[in-house]
Amino acid sequence: RIGSATSLSSAVVNTRLQELVRLFKERTEKVKEKLVDPDATSDDESPVASPTKPAPAAAPVPAPGGELEGNKPLEDDHYCEMLCCTFKYRPWRDRLKSYQFPSSIDPLTNLMYVLWLFFVVMAWNWNCWLIPVRWAFPYQTPANIHYWLLVDYLCDLVYLLDILVFQTRLQFVQGGDIITDKKAMKENYLRSQRFKMDVLCLLPLDFFYFKVGVNPLLRFPRCLKYMAFFEFNNRLEAILTKAYIYRVIRTTAYLLYSLHLNSCLYYWASAYEGLGSTTWVYDGEGNSYIRCYYWAVKTLITIGGLPDPKTLFEIVFQLLNYFTGVFAFSVMIGQMRDVVGAATAGQTYYRSCMDSTIKYMNFYRIPKTVQNRVKTWYEYTWHSQGMLDESELLVQLPDKMRLDIAIDVNYNIVSKVALFQGCDRQMIFDMLKRLRSVVYLPNDYVCKKGEIGREMYIIQAGQVQVLGGPDGKSVLVTLKAGSVFGEISLLAAGGGNRRTANVVAHGFANLFILEKKDLNEILVHYPESQKLLRKKAKKMLKTNNKPKDEKGGPGDPLIIPPKAETPKLFKAALAATGRMGGKGPLERLRWRLKELKAMQ
């Protein structure tokens, strides 16, 4: 029994020691990886655990009715029933009380400010469109005057809130610094031209209602808040993905508004001359606004077919209408052309490049198969990227913004390349800006076997196939998006590293290319990363160039195996014996070795 207990304890101790040795080995490997690659994860960098939560309270005792007391909703809790579920929510009054209005507003990026500008522009449009209508047409009557006044003063309230709440909280830039101080923002607004126009548009001319009656023309200063309209246009175009659609709608609204003003003036002229007094004026039949708007369209667009004016007033009015119509309509047409031209500028550039290329290929009688592939490349590149060359767009941006875009697009892929792990992070950032995007068509050769490799490839989209085998057409492996190949060629010494296989695009493939000369220009500024890369490259090249015999593969059989080399210490002893001229055993052994060597 004592022996069995001793053997059992020794087995337990051995098992524990083996486990400790295994743990120490794992720890050593992790430390070595951390020293080689600082970006690798480590146990030391694991997040700190959260504080221990208190133990849960004891389960409540069921009430006599069978229901737990803890499950009963409190009086202050609010629940919302939806379908078969019950949700707890905060009352809207509490949420409203807890909401804090921002002390400063960024006018360039704050969407809440853009939404507020929308309401201000709606109030401005109400005044611009309805004041002429109420002045010219008999739509404002004593029976409905209170409805008109209600909307008017709601618009005035929006104007007043814009001055007191929003404009005094707008951030501004002074000397390169963003100013967010309340007093400074308020003083900046009070000194601006915007404040003067905002005060002017709220002139209290409504007090004249008590003397001359409710005349809509007294509200004409409300139309002077045009600066809010143009600011809203700039902010909205900055956040829209297709801003040209809004520009077309806005230009069309300009044309409709000019026709709207002309129709109001025509009804006023007809009322001044007397409705139906001549063939030129409005006869008072049908819908007055629609009839006058139709006349305004025919006049401004100069369609013709209008009755001739009879009186001097009618002639002068018609002449001014024609001159204004020609000028306004030409301006609108020119602006619409510019808007449509700007919206289709990219498409026009694409068509121009494609037409020039086709003309060039036809002039030199390029085969139709090649021409079809070129056309396919143009169409796929344009539809997939929206442009033919991404560098043309990024070259306009500052260096910092180009780096930010490159990091968001390519950093996750490049950081996973084994060759660059452990390198300086700033070196990788500089390398990202040198990547060049290239589109390959189906069955295009990305690289061929035997050619000198001078670039590395990163697959952004699509797939490529590595071909090999006796015929060179067998698919060895298929690389998908995120894969990297050809990285050893970047640091190969001498004449470069030759490609060992053919790589073909399987379908359309979009690849990023990093050239060897670009990497060499970057490594000049990062000597430590250069040493690490050369060390990794030598190791990878040694692995790739290792003969099959050394890898354990079958080599050429030898009939007579080679003789093992004589140890250096034994050679030194033989040489010393020879110099002393001795005739002992060592000298005889040396003579025997010479004889065996001569026989071989």
Q: Determine which helix (DSSP H) or strand (DSSP E) holds 474, and give its type and residue range.
A: strand 474-479
- In DSSP terms, 436 is beta-bridged to 513
Contact 226, 127 (CB under 8 A): no
Q: Please name the amino acid found at residue 251.
A: T
pLDDT band at 29 (very low <50, low <70, confident <90, very high): confident
> SS3 for 461?
strand
Contact 87, 165 (CB under 8 A): no
> SS3 for 506?
strand
> Rounded to the nearest 5°, which phi and psi values hold at 140?
-95, 110
Give percent of the chain with pLDDT exceeding 70: 77
C-alpha gyration radius of the chain: 43
pLDDT of 444 higher than 60 = yes
Q: Report which listed range, 70-79, 216-225, 528-537, is most confident.
A: 216-225
User: What are the sequence ranges of the domains in the chain?
Assistant: 102-239, 242-388, 412-545
Mean pLDDT of 100-114: 89
Cα distances from 466 to residues 440, 475, 486, 598, in angstroms, run 15, 6, 12, 52
- In DSSP terms, 506 is beta-bridged to 463
Separation between Cα atoms, residue 133 and residue 46, nearest integer Å: 71
Contact 497, 453 (CB under 8 A): yes
- In DSSP terms, 178 is beta-bridged to 173
Give percent of the chain with pLDDT exceeding 90: 27
- Pick the more confident residue, 459 or 265: 265
pLDDT digits (tens, 9 = 90+) for 123-169: 999 999 999 999 999 999 999 999 999 999 999 999 999 999 999 99
Mean pLDDT of 468-476: 83
Separation between Cα atoms, residue 267 and residue 284, nearest integer Å: 10
Considering only CA atoms, which of 398, 426, 447, 420 is closest in space to residue 540? 420
What is the pTM assigned to this prediction? 0.62
> SS3 for 424?
coil
Contact 162, 198 (CB under 8 A): yes
- Pick the more confident residue, 53 or 343: 343
Contact 137, 288 (CB under 8 A): yes
pLDDT digits (tens, 9 = 90+) for 298-329: 887 777 678 888 889 999 998 988 888 888 88
> SS3 for 535?
helix
Mean pLDDT of 397-418: 78
Q: Please name the amino acid found at residue 288.
A: S
Q: Which CATH superfamily is domain 412-545 in?
A: Jelly Rolls (2.60.120.10)
| Fold observed for domain 242-388 | Helix Hairpins (1.10.287)
Mean pLDDT of 324-349: 82
pLDDT of residue 487: 75
Q: Determine which helix (DSSP H) or strand (DSSP E) holds 414, and give its type and residue range.
A: helix 399-414
- In DSSP terms, 498 is beta-bridged to 452
pLDDT of residue 72: 44
- In DSSP terms, 437 is beta-bridged to 512
On average, the pLDDT of the chain sits at 79
pLDDT of residue 197: 94
Separation between Cα atoms, residue 162 and residue 228, nearest integer Å: 10
Q: Please name the amino acid found at residue 70.
A: G
pLDDT digits (tens, 9 = 90+) for 523-573: 888 888 888 888 877 777 677 665 544 444 444 444 344 555 666 655 665
According to DSSP, residue 45 is labeled G
